[in-house]
Structure 1
Amino acid sequence: MTKAKYTEGMFLATKDKGEVSFLLCVPKDAIAMIVLGHGAGAGMRHKHMEDIAQSLESNKIATFRYQFPFMERGGGRDAQSVSLATVQAAIDKARSLQKNLPLFAGGHSFGGRMTSLYCAEKSIEDLCGLIFFSFPLHPSGKPDTKRAQHFAQIQKPMLFLSGTRDKLAQLDLLQSVCAEHAQYISLHLLDTADHSFKILKRSRKSEKNIYDEAAETAFEFIQSLC
């Protein structure tokens, strides 16, 4: 793994909710930085987020992980407006710490969805693109595409890294949405992976580590834009 510089700290999410934690990791040969929001059920230090970040760092991609206020303090999820404000604050903080690296944003599940909603509302001029790890297209057991309605407002390149067994992104629906917005969306399917990137070892065709596959795909996506 490329040796990375680690920086930990806090930033103000909103005036009402206060400060939240962040973890910035920058490989010495980094080609870009991605701001990563975590899922709804686990924070930025969960093993899944650690594995995503470490694989990205091994592929020369700096990562800025951060907590949403509800995860920082514990308890119920905040109003969507709070989460969107936190996405903005995280991007602003990341950019202040690394001014020269091309900027990307996204995250796992909930974090990715909140980032997409924010980017549909606000234009970030220096944002090169979005990368989603297991975008939650719909709740489990309730397949539809309502959560994709805002994609038309995001005129930035987007990469979706999605498992073929993800119960929050029914495959035919996800493929249809991505095809509808093919001008901006690239889809990479992770064979046998579920929403948390757990795989079926016996039936998976590739022997490559699932996190390495996702990170290498992200690297190729970033390299094509920078």
Structure 2
Amino acid sequence: MTTKIAVTVQDVDTPVGEARIHWHLAPAAARLVLALGHGAGGGVEARDLQALAAALPAEGVGVALVEQPWRVAGKRVAPAPKTLDAAWRAVWPALTAPGLPVVAGGRSAGARVACRTAGELGAAAVLALSFPLHPPGRPENSRAEELTGAGVPVLVVQGARDPFGRPEEFPAGTEPVAVPWGDHGFAVPKKADVTQEEALAGIVRAVGMWLRAI
């Protein structure tokens, strides 16, 4: 039997436009909120964000998928990092309003935003999905300092075939959870020995176990 999850939408004014929070509410009393931002190439419909939002509320985790203002406005190109950070900071009071600890996170560019702002905003931890450790083919341009400088516990979940950084490329101490065959969007090819559903279930399981330990 599938647990029915209530979904509500909240618009939030920010200095760089209107953001939107898609709340996936826990059916019983929640113990924390997992706030997830999307990447620069897509929105909150990303397969990993949707899988977590569908599964975690039943475990007492309210999931808030945060849609950045550029995406709400229908633009196709993400703005500069400082603009993304400004919007995230402005949304934060709405995320903390339920009075619960908030784990910040996101995929790709959203993970970078969460890492850069976690300390100042008082996030309990950071979930980094498909963290773009470096531009494809340019490992010398590392963004590892954003991870190591977050100032809070960080869980990295990374596709084994991610061109923005494979799990083995990450610095000691980050210990990413590897998604077999996964690319930057956690898509797995048909030739893989795991299905797409199994890959997503593995992500949900790893994240759920980590959140229970926080």
The reply to whether TM is greater than 0.5 is yes
Aligned to 1:57: 57
Structure-to-structure mapping, 1:65-144, within 5 angstroms? 65-73=65-73, 74-96=75-97, 98-99=98-99, 101-119=100-118, 122-125=119-122, 127-144=123-140
Count of residue correspondences: 211
Query: Sequence identity, in percent?
Result: 22
Query: Is the contact between residue 31 and residue 61 of structure 1 (CA under 8 Å) also seen in structure 2?
Result: yes
**Structure 1, residues 143-191: CA drift from partner, whole Å, max 9, x if none?**
23521123332221100011101111134322xx1x1xx2xx3421111
Q: TM-score, normalised by structure 2?
A: 0.87
Query: Is the contact between residue 35 and residue 64 of structure 2 (CA under 8 Å) also seen in structure 1?
Result: yes
Long gaps (5+) in structure 2: none
SS class of match (1:33): strand
What CA RMSD, in Å, does the superposition of the two structures yield over aligned residues?
A: 2.3
What is the letter of the counterpart of residue 104 of structure 1? V
- Between 1:162-171 and 1:68-77, the stretch displaced more is 68-77
Structure-to-structure mapping, 1:1-226, within 5 angstroms? 1-14=2-15, 17-29=16-28, 30-73=30-73, 74-96=75-97, 98-99=98-99, 101-119=100-118, 122-125=119-122, 127-144=123-140, 146-174=142-170, 177=171, 179=172, 182=173, 185-204=174-193, 209-225=198-214
Q: Distance in 1 between matches of 2:77 and 2:196?
A: 39
Deviation at 1:84, TM superposition (A): 0.5
Q: Distance in 2 between matches of 1:152 and 1:132?
A: 12
Query: Is the contact between residue 190 and residue 210 of structure 1 (CA under 8 Å) also seen in structure 2?
Result: yes
Query: Is the contact between residue 9 and residue 23 of structure 2 (CA under 8 Å) also seen in structure 1?
Result: yes
**Structure 1, residues 25-71: CA drift from partner, whole Å, max 9, x if none?**
11224342111000111112345532342233354422111121221
SS class of match (1:9): strand
Query: Is the contact between residue 55 and residue 212 of structure 1 (CA under 8 Å) also seen in structure 2?
Result: no
Deviation at 1:203, TM superposition (A): 3.6
Deviation at 1:213, TM superposition (A): 1.1
**Structure 1, residues 183-219: CA drift from partner, whole Å, max 9, x if none?**
xx34211111111111135443689622221111111
Query: Is the contact between residue 69 and residue 78 of structure 1 (CA under 8 Å) also seen in structure 2?
Result: no
Query: Is the contact between residue 2 and residue 60 of structure 1 (CA under 8 Å) also seen in structure 2?
Result: no
Q: TM-score, normalised by structure 1?
A: 0.83
Deviation at 1:135, TM superposition (A): 0.7
**Closer/same/farther in 2, CA of residues 55 and 202 from structure 1, 3 Å limit:** farther
**Structure 1, residues 82-137: CA drift from partner, whole Å, max 9, x if none?**
110112122221111x21x3310111111111111223xx4233x22111111111
Structure 1 runs of 4+ aligned residues shifted over 4 Å read 205-208
**Closer/same/farther in 2, CA of residues 196 and 172 from structure 1, 3 Å limit:** same
